[in-house]
Amino acid sequence: MSSASIIPLLNKWREDITKLMKSSERVAIIHHWDTDGIASAVLMSKLFIHKSFSYHIPRIGLYELDAIDIRSIRNYSPDVIMILDYGVGKDVIEELRRELGGRLIVIDHHITNLKEDLICNPVNIIHNKDGVPSTTWLIRDIFRIERYPTLIALGVAGDYGRYLEKSNLLKIIKDMIREKNISIDQLIKASLMIDACYRCGDYNGIHHARQILRKYGVEKVLEDAILKKNLEYINEEIHEILSEITEIKIEGPIIVFEVETNNYITSYLGRELAYKHNDRIIVLINYVKRLGISYIYVRSYKYSLNRALMELRRKGLYVGGKDNVFVVTCKTKDCEEEKDLTLRVLMKTLSGD
Ligand SMILES: [Mn+2]
């Protein structure tokens, strides 16, 4: 991402955030429930070590105002609110501002429609094929951090999964974790242990993971009994599903799967399927019983999905994502209409119309 044109932007964000933080004491952080979101929250708290922080996790699986516990944030009476890696759009940010007033900082690498001061998201401004690998990476670039390399690398491992081993970032990440004597496998394992918490709906586990990471670092995450147990539990279902899942349809480069799961393992399954079918676009329709939500997960390591994402958003679907992955959320079990529309739009945007 270090293309020259973005440097003035990063500088401005750094100056603006630093200035705002100088006049703030209490900071409420709303962070994504996944590894990158957690690592980003830890990173920001370390950068501004003398401030007071409270941490808020949105309702797992949802990206909307209702997912955010406004009351608990208001009770904390923060001087500034930071939203990290959460991928929400303009309407949510505006509603949040209306509800809570005050000052808002957003740092994110998801594709959103946000463009204004203190919305630090280069993805919306500069369209780079490789995007920004993680929010921790973006924080590193904004604040020119040379410390906390393992924490920054963890965010990338969280968002890449084992695809990291094939990515062109591998060498850089390896260098970053060398000083702590951690291997790539261990880094990925740590991110899976942390992500197991949101996958099984363990909010306390998410807070716990963040505290371990903040106090002791990645090494202790790997040894943590609660996180180990969560990962074991999640792995059981993952292995069961992956051993029996078969496609329900193949259309051009698109391959479609459909499955019901107890846990929110959509992104893991989707990544595995995309990894296995890496010359295609995989579409995974996953009803998650725990959440009562159906997801249409689309990922490709070959095709850019940006246009399809934008088009589906324009057509009113609830879509979040990045260049090589997006997810349509359906708050009901049935998602036939959304499924048909997604497949149609994918075919259309691929054919280049
Ligand atoms: Mn992320």
Q: In what order do the strands lie in the sheet with 325-330?
A: 249-251, 254-261, 281-288, 293-300, 325-330, 319-322
Decide if 160 contacts 61 (C-beta within 8 A). Answer: no
Low-confidence ranges of the chain (pLDDT < 70): 1-4, 114-117, 126-130, 352-353
User: What was the pLDDT predicted at 122?
Assistant: 81
User: What was the pLDDT predicted at 110?
Assistant: 84
Domain 4-227 has CATH 1.10.10.10: no
For 44-53, write each residue's pLDDT tens digit: 999 999 999 9
* CATH code of the domain made up of 245-351: 3.10.310.40
Residues around the ion ligand 1 (C-beta < 5 A): 36, 85, 135, 159
Q: How many CB atoms lie within 10 A of CB 334?
A: 10
Rounded to the nearest angstrom, the distance between the alpha carbon of 154 and the centre of ligand 1 is 11
User: What was the pLDDT predicted at 71?
Assistant: 96
User: What was the pLDDT predicted at 21?
Assistant: 96
Strands (E), 203-269: 249-251, 254-261
Strands (E), 67-189: 80-84, 103-107, 119-120
For 167-197, write each residue's pLDDT tens digit: 999 999 999 999 889 999 999 999 999 999 9
Rounded to the nearest angstrom, the distance between the alpha carbon of 185 and the centre of ligand 1 is 19
User: What was the pLDDT predicted at 186?
Assistant: 97
Rounded to the nearest angstrom, the distance between the alpha carbon of 353 and the centre of ligand 1 is 30
Q: Where are the domains of the chain?
A: 4-227, 245-351
User: What was the pLDDT predicted at 113?
Assistant: 74
Rounded to the nearest angstrom, the distance between the alpha carbon of 31 and the centre of ligand 1 is 10
